[in-house]
Chains A and B, each alone.
Chain A
Amino acid sequence: MKQKRKSSGGFRSLLYSQKVAPYVFVAPFVIAFLLFYLYPIISSVIMSFQEVLPGQVRFIGLSNYKNLFRGDFVKAVRNSVIYTVITCAVLVPVPILLAVFLNSKQTVGKNTFRVIFFLPALVSVVVGGFTFRLIFGEMPTALLNSVIGVFGAKPVKWLGGPAPWTTFFALLVLCCWRWTGVNIMYYLSGLQNISEELYDSASIDGAGAWQRFFYITLPLLKPTTTYVLTISIYGGMAMFLESRMLFNGGRYPGGQGLTIVGYLYRLGWEQNRIGLGCAVGLFLLAVTLAVNLVQLRVSGFFERR
């Protein structure tokens, strides 16, 4: 026992050293960031000015950026933006409410509900997406159409149908199915940090349930909301696999369901135009960064507290 403590003494004192330890602890992140984020971003910037072919990489100036707005790019951006807006509009308020219910002392079977809400997050997007594609099938015998058929509605062509909202509806349902539970987890941990005393004193002052929710819960959940919004915006703008699965591996009728990353994938991989794909990727990076910076600023993230 004594021997063991002695032998790890050197390593320990290294970790306990106030000068070295912080660097040791952040090193894995810094190395991963430099290797897997910064380096690829820099090469993407370079490649976005190039035509990249095996053995024949050459600079072609701005022509990738000139070609950016041809083709389905505008459709892809529009789809991604609409998707991001509607998913954020649903996936922030609904999980807050559900988290409050799940956090309440009166709710029965809390843990069961938590598990049920969280389970979809553990299912692969490919499996989930394929199942949803069948649920949203256009035949009268598909699950959703047979359900609405009970109420006398005619079968709807949900995916890529004549009305664009049906496609977004399917994407939204898939997104909510998958992410509601995750966001509930974030909000539950946010709720744990709110002191009971605040609610008690508010009750003594005569505040009702709604008042306590609006004047205590919501404001104190703001840091969590900022975080959830940030990752939701990123997740929404970068969504790809879900729509690819719903649309049979990238057959987007009339551009419906095509997202920015879907377009990037089409150009970069399906048509072997890596340089053009990089230009699309950098556009996505710029937009997402800008939107998030604005969002963080509005939410007061940068203010010194």
Chain B
Amino acid sequence: MKHVKVGKLLAMLLAMCMIFSLAVYAEGSGDAGEATEITFWTFQELHVEYYEKMAEKWNEANPDKQIVLKPTVYPFEDMHSNLLIALQSGTGAPDLVDIEVGKYANFLKGDIQLLPLNDIVEPELDNIVKARVDIYSKDGNYYGICFHVGAAVIYYNTELCELAGVDYNEIKTWDDYYEAAKALKEADPDKYWESVEATDIWHMWPLLAELGGDMTNAEGAVTIDTPEMAKVLEFNRKLVDEGLAVVAPGGYHHAEEFYALMGGGNIASIVMPLWYLDRFTNYMPDLAGKIAIAPLPVWEEGEPRSIGQGGTGTSITNQAKNPELVKEFLSYAKLSQDAGIEIWNTLGFDTIRTDVWAMEDVTHADNKFTEYYVNNPFDILLEIKDEIVAHNNGENLPQALDLMKNEVLNRAYTEPDVDIPAMLAEVQSSVIE
């Protein structure tokens, strides 16, 4: 009798479990119908908007291959950690995923859990900036496709340039730049010519690249302790010491405090990649009509004036259920000319499709970016297009970046009487091989 009662209880529990799991299953597959579901992870809300637009267009053009995009937005670190766990454990990863370039090396270690994209990338190589797929490649296989070139440029506040009596078009070398900084100081000692980041690398990596330096070498080892690095940091430190440059409040050019200082018209120039366009429009609306984009100054004539920085590689994991279809969609959403145009229109990025750069009807059409800036970003992009170098993306880049953001830059710009070469040697010696 007792056993019967316990059995009944168990049976009821089991029944409830089954009903519950059925309900969950129904929710999962309910609205999909004939369409194939593509799960997608990203850390950037704006990318979801973009991909949903592209999925809609895809469905219009491909009635026989309908897809339903299932996006999930995680915070930056969480998404990359979750992806590492999912790939390490072999379960739970999405079909399609955005991976930030600074994290990408982590996913190229061991047996690579991402699918090679050579069959969709190789046919388009003539139409895109090859460096922007090279940074997501290993041993001849391409694993990710970037949104943008991320070309480093310099943004000038034209009002402060006028105040200093400087024509920013005439600033060709870093010496010119330094002289301009002194001119502004004389005109108004409360303003700064430049801002440097104590906890981020965007402002100095291009200066390093002009000299041929990098964070890691071709073999993937950390190369922080180099004469080129010392030269760049010493130059910036000189500007800080003389009151010409400010160390960005909040530590970097994405801090609320920095937006306030820059947006208040207190800083005349910053070195940032082209994807910073939308930071100005979103966070510093008061500067509308005052910001001009220009190629970077150089140390000596003939040096390359830009570097491709940052970026998000969209990749397909080896856990994708319909890899062929996902690949076709990714090719359309990231590599096609349609994609190039939409990336500029929706996201304001310098697309990797070079043929789009010359399409004046697209690049000069009225949108919030063309209205905000004094000149057109694509004019600058076309001017420097053959000078955009790529950085190494070796296994130890995440470590090199951690050292730069936590140790090197802060000490270089704020430690009293710092001996920069000695400091660099000290940090280099703490590298974990």
Contacts and interface: CB of A to CB of B under 8 A. Distances in A.
Q: Do A and B come from one complex?
A: yes
Given A137-B257, A271-B402, A13 B251 contact: no
Contacts of B255: 248
Contacts of A137: 249-250, 256-257
Contacts of B257: 137-139, 142
Interface string B65-92: 0000000000011001100100110100
Nearest to B258: A139
Nearest to A244: B77
A141 to B, nearest CB: 7
A53 B249 contact: no
Interface residues of B, number: 48
Given A162-B414, A248-B251, A272 B402 contact: no
B88 A54 contact: yes
A55 B111 contact: yes
A249 B76 contact: yes
A135 B261 CA distance: 17
A269 B251 contact: no
B5 A7 contact: yes
Interface stretch (A64-72, A97-105, A189-197, A295-303): A64-72
A72 B111 contact: no
A140 B404 CA distance: 27
A28 interface: no
B109 A272 contact: yes
Interface string A248-288: 11111111001000000011011111101000000000000
Top 10 A-B pairs ranked by shortest CB distance?
A: A53-B110, A55-B111, A272-B106, A251-B199, A253-B410, A10-B2, A10-B5, A56-B110, A54-B110, A269-B81
A199 to B, nearest CB: 51
B111 A270 contact: no
A151 interface: no
B199 A271 contact: no
Contact of A13 (B2, B90, B415): B2
A160 B248 CA distance: 13
A142 B249 CA distance: 11
A160 B410 contact: yes
Contact of B405 (A7, A9, A251, A274): A251
Contact of A254 (B77, B80, B402, B410): B410
B402 A248 contact: no
Nearest to B1: A10
Chain B interface SS verdict (over half): helix
Interface in B80-116: 80-81, 84, 87-88, 90, 103, 106-107, 109-113
B251 A251 contact: yes
A253 B406 contact: yes
A143 interface: no
B256 A134 contact: yes
Nearest to A273: B432
B251 A139 contact: no
Interface in B376-433: 398-399, 402, 405-407, 410-411, 414-416, 430-432
A292 B398 CA distance: 35
Contact of A269 (B9, B77, B260): B77
Given A54-B90, A137-B249, A253-B406, 8 more contacts: A7-B5, A54-B111, A254-B406, A254-B407, A254-B415, A267-B432, A269-B84, A270-B402
B432 A276 contact: yes
A269 to B, nearest CB: 4
Max chain B Cβ within 10 angstroms of own Cβ: one of A13, A249, A271, A273 = A271
Contacts of A185: none
A138 B249 contact: yes
B399 A11 contact: no
B250 to A, nearest CB: 7
A70 B88 CA distance: 26
A52 B432 CA distance: 16
B406 A252 contact: yes
B200 interface: yes
B61 interface: no
B402 A266 contact: yes
Max chain A Cβ within 10 angstroms of own Cβ: one of B5, B6, B87, B261 = B5
B106 A271 contact: yes
A33 B260 CA distance: 49
14 contacts: A11-B5, A70-B430, A71-B430, A71-B432, A137-B257, A138-B250, A139-B249, A141-B260, A254-B406, A269-B77, A269-B81, A271-B398, A272-B106, A272-B107
Nearest to A6: B5
A257 to B, nearest CB: 10
A197 B407 CA distance: 60
Nearest to A258: B406
A90 B237 CA distance: 40
Contacts of A249: 76-77
Interface string B1-22: 1110110010000000000000
Contact of B251 (A71, A72, A160): A160
Nearest to A276: B432
B87 A270 contact: no
Interface string A1-44: 00000011111011000000000000000000000000000000
B280 to A, nearest CB: 19
Contact of B9 (A11, A52, A266): A11
Contacts of B410: 160, 253-254
Interface string B146-164: 0000000000000000000
A265 B250 CA distance: 22
Contacts of A139: 249, 257, 260-261
A268 to B, nearest CB: 9
A253 B106 contact: no
Interface in B230-267: 249-252, 255-257, 260-261
B432 A67 contact: yes
Given A7-B5, A139-B261, A269-B77, A53 B406 contact: no
Nearest to A67: B432
Contacts of A271: 106, 398-399, 402
Contacts of B200: 251
Interface in A56-85: 56, 67, 70-72
B198 interface: yes
A26 to B, nearest CB: 20
